[in-house]
Structure 1
Amino acid sequence: MLAGHPIAAEAPFDTPELGEPYLLTPGPLTTSYAVKQAMLRDWGSWDGDFRAMTAEMRRRLLALTGDKNDEFDCIPMQGSGTFAVEAMLGSFLPRDSKTLVLVNGAYGQRIAQTLNYLGRAHTVIDKGDYMPPRGTEVAAALDADPAITHVIIVHCETSSGILNPVHEISETVYGKGRKLLIDSMSAFGAISLDVNEIRYEAMVSSANKCIEGVPGFGFIIARKSELEAAKGRSHSLSLDVHAQWAHLIKTGQWRYTPPTHVVAAFLVALRQHEVEGGVAGRGARYANNRDVMVAGMRELGFETLLKDHWLSPIIVTFFNPAHPDFSFDRFYELMKDKGFIIYPGKLTVVDSFRVGCIGRMDEHVMRRVVKAAGESLREMGVDTAAPPAAAIAERAKLAA
């Protein structure tokens, strides 16, 4: 119970609640009724009840990392996920550091852009949209440049839907005596980041992703030794992770006004996450969502951007059909009319769109997604969703 609000009995996944469309996006995403219900009460940010909620939230998030030796702590940070990523970079990268940024999509590029703003030295391995960075090339880059102190990788690059091999990268980074930061914005909570299996100094995620809360804050989970070393390092008053951490330790409160309703909703989402079986249970549902949806879309002729080995259970990118009567804008509106909001593509070389697998949805919903896609194609007069030959050729060339 959350201060008088029980976790309500939930409707089946395939029963739309409140008449809302399903959000087939990488977050914001479709949330449960109980998560929405938790936002109906106002909270005082200084009050003992809310401080207890913050403390429980931090404990529950830390538990998802498998930290048994009290080496890590969790620091929530107001704002969108990008705010939290910038806070992590500005707080944990010394001003005289040099960072190797592993890029294979828009969010790796955004990290490099952020480092430009921060004035932090960095270099990039850019793999394009199709392929993950591998340990061998990271090792070569670290050997070639002894000035590199840190490496950062996006766990799941949602611009393409690729799941990056963080375990392999971590082993390489620490084998070369460097430190790893992870942007796990769209993966944490559904894909393991157990600190006993994958070494890293800090990771960052957000309320409105795989835990299935609503937007309003991100959170950084970091080694206490790194938090202590970050004192006085941040470029920003409001994004100073050490200062936020110190204030939480001293008072139990956030430094500045927290998104109280979002925290209340997130705590309900965390409890539902535990009931579902934690990271393993949540990840299994998402993986099944992906498998059912991808199989159905392929039967319609759609082609995934990525080969099966690299498909994440978070979001899948499809090539736009080559058919001359296909228009993404029209397809989007037809899908929305049927109760499903999909995501436009974010690639630079080919036209594409994305379908998310996360949120309060199961395989029955995904079968309805496929049915809606087929109906939408027929209404457009598109008899096959096969992609342009040039798109397949480009994928083959870039993935070679």
Structure 2
Amino acid sequence: MTASAPQIDPPFLGEPYLLTPGPLTTSYEVKQAMLRDWGSWDDDFRAMTRDMRSRLLALLGEGAGEFDCVPMQGSGSFAVEAMLASFVPRDGKALVLANGAYGLRSAQTLQYLGRAHQVLDKGDYLPPRGDEVAAILACDPSITHVVAIHCETSSGILNPVEEISEAVYAAGRKLLIDSMSAFGAIELKPSQIRYEAMVSSANKCIEGVPGFGFVIARKAELEAAKGNSHSLSLDVHAQWAHMEKTGQWRFTPPTHVVAAFLEALKAHEAEGGVEGRGARYTRNRDVMVAGMRELGFETLLQNRWLSPIIVTFFCPADANFVFGRFYELMKEKGFIIYPGKLTVVDSFRVGCIGQMDEHVMRQVVTAAKETLAEMGVASAAPPAAALEERAKLAA
């Protein structure tokens, strides 16, 4: 299929662009799909659910036949909890690879679930590496599963899941991937990266709206998950078994969100699938980062770890820079950015995903330039200590 350039809509009725890792700016077609009501038990809606599951599996490419797709009501964190509770057995133990808030949230989830776990915490700057994982697994034979974050959006880092997978399976363990903010724009083909299950959400790189997540897992793992879950509503096996038998969700589905997501999946395919979507986001990132660096801003991460999903910038050291004011002025110009989520340094984030292209990202840079001038910020350079810390950790 030959991909066509996507039609990027201007903000709807003057709404600002959402420069966040989701919810994000959606197309008119996605919004319009929510104007009709659907019966959750009706054959038409059951057909929509089948179509959605099939289209998501198709994104895996070769090897997709070994997997199935199970949508789960709720936000992305609901789906992550469902995956962890369903696939890490109660007598299992998980190694959580953390380098930001979402890895730590997985560890917190496992604590709530009463699952034994260990955390490899790499801080905000660096990814977990395969050799580190291999060393931990060699020292602790009780670890049954490894949990990895594909794109850690608190820092914007893209983690090396391929080398992590190689280390996990060389040690005879199993990998679960939180690809919440990456699936649909960054390849996660089981023919290239082995894993048992992954999880993502409707309102990320597929460019739908919030309301459900989905677990894509090996059928063998789904069958083995019976009885593992702590929760009635978050039981992936029970949801899967019910869908396979009836075609229906066990409990009230977000019907309008599913209709919108199908439109988003069709647009994703027309853009060239994962490769096409990822190329646009990468171009968004490159144009935006180059422009912000010209203004004097510095990225938290070195180029090799920058994801095409969201980029973290240090806040300027200039005394006139106040993030709250910067945020409000950017919003007045039509751009909602994201606060930082780091523990060691003041920062903010700019997302690259959603209904935006490189022309929009140039407008973002112009808005940032104008905002700095309005605030009387003479330099966007970060504190010297922040750069020294980055250099020390990266060495």
TM-score when normalising by structure 1? 0.96
CA distance in 2, matches of 1:224, 1:14: 39
**Aligned equivalent of 1:108, options 95, 103, 114:** 103
Which whole-Å CA distance do the structure 2 matches of 1:278 and 1:365 have between them? 21
| Match of residue 230, structure 1, among 225, 243, 259 | 225
- Aligned equivalent of 2:60: 65
Is 1:346 paired with 2:341?
A: yes
Q: C-alpha separation between the residues in 2 aligned to 1:16 and 1:114?
A: 36
User: Which residue pairs with 1:366 in the alignment?
Assistant: 361
Q: How many residues align?
A: 391
C-alpha deviation, 1:67, in angstroms = 4.4
Q: Which secondary structure state, in structure 2, belongs to the residue aligned with residue 169 of structure 1?
A: helix
User: Aligned to 1:287, what secondary structure does the other structure show?
Assistant: helix
Contact 1:156 1:162 in 2 (8 A): yes
Partner Cα separation in structure 1 for residue 297 and residue 308 of structure 2: 18
CA–CA distance in structure 2, aligned partners of residues 17 and 336 of structure 1: 15
The answer on 1:45 being equivalent to 2:40 is yes
Are the counterparts in 2 of residues 204 and 221 from structure 1 also a CA contact under 8 Å? yes
Counterpart of 2:107, as a letter, is A
Tell me how far apart the structure 2 counterparts of residues 12 and 76 of structure 1 sit (CA, whole Å). Answer: 28
Cα offset for 1:11?
Answer: 9.2
Write the mapping of 1:64-143 to structure 2, written as runs, cut at 5 A: 64-68=59-63, 70-143=65-138
* Superposed displacement of residue 13, structure 1: 2.3
Q: Find the counterpart in structure 2 of residue 293 from structure 1.
A: 288
**CA shift digits 1:248-281 (9 cap, x unpaired):** 0000000000000000000000000000000000
Alpha carbons 1:325, 1:380 under 8 Å: kept: yes
Which of 194, 199, 219 is the matching residue for 2:194?
Answer: 199
Question: CA deviation digits over 1:311-333, x for unaligned, max 9?
Answer: 00000000000000000000000
**Superposition RMSD in Å:** 1.1
- In the TM superposition, residue 12 of structure 1 has moved relative to its aligned partner by 4.6
1:137-189 deviation digits (Å, cap 9, x = unpaired): 11000001111111010000000000000001001100111000000000000
Determine which of 179, 187, 202 is the counterpart of 2:182. Answer: 187
Contact kept? 1:53, 1:264, Cα under 8 Å: yes
Contact 2:57 2:64 in 1 (8 A): no
Cross-structure match for 1:4: none
Matched, 1:271 2:266: yes
Contact 1:14-1:362 at 8 Å conserved across structures:
no
Q: Secondary structure at the match of 1:74?
A: strand
With 67-76 and 350-359 compared, the bigger mean Cα shift is at 67-76
Report the AA paired with residue 283 of structure 2: N
1:17 deviation in Å? 2.7
Shift of 1:18: 2.2
What is the aligned counterpart of 2:312 among 295, 317, 321? 317
Change (3 A) 1:48 1:274: same
Match of 1:5 in 2: none
Q: 1:185-213: per-residue Cα shift (whole Å, max 9, x none)? A: 00000000001111000000000000000
- Code of the aligned partner of 1:353: F
Partner Cα distance (1:366, 1:300) in 2 = 14
Identical positions, percent: 80
Cα separation, 2, equivalents of 1:102 and 1:68: 26
1:346 alignment partner AA: K
Q: Distance in 1 between matches of 2:95 and 2:110?
A: 11
**AA of the residue aligned to 2:124:** D
Q: In the alignment, does 2:50 pair up with 1:55?
A: yes
Which residue of structure 2 lines up, in the alignment, with residue 210 of structure 1? 205
Q: Which residue of 2 aligns with 1:260?
A: 255
Deviation at 1:66, TM superposition (A): 1.4
Cα distance in structure 1, aligned partners of 2:298 and 2:181: 23
Match of 2:170 in 1: 175
C-alpha displacement of 1:396: 2.0
Q: Which residue of 2 aligns with 1:249?
A: 244
Question: What is the rounded CA distance, in whole Å, between the counterparts of 2:270 and 2:224 in structure 1?
Answer: 37
In 1, are the aligned partners of 2:127 and 2:157 still within 8 Å (CA)? Answer: yes
Can you give the 5+ residue segments of structure 2 that lack an aligned partner in the other structure? none
Say whether the 8 Å CA contact 1:91–1:241 is kept in structure 2.
Answer: yes
- Inter-partner Cα distance in structure 2 for 1:14 and 1:212: 13
The one-letter code sitting in structure 2 at the alignment partner of 1:107 is: Y
Taking the aligned partners of 2:299 and 2:345, their CA distance within structure 1 comes to 12
Q: Judging changes above 3 Å, is the alpha-carbon distance between structure 1 residues 365 and 373 closer, same or farther for their aligned structure 2 residues? A: same
Query: What's the CA shift string for 1:28-82, capped at 9, x where partnerless?
Result: 0000000000000000000000000000000000000114462100000000000
Quick check: 2:64–2:190 contact (8 Å CA) kept in 1? no
Whole-Å Cα distance in 2 between the matches of residues 104 and 399 of structure 1? 14
Amino acid of the structure 1 residue aligned with 2:50 = A
Q: Specify the SS of the correspondent of 1:113.
A: helix
Structure 2 length-normalised TM: 0.98
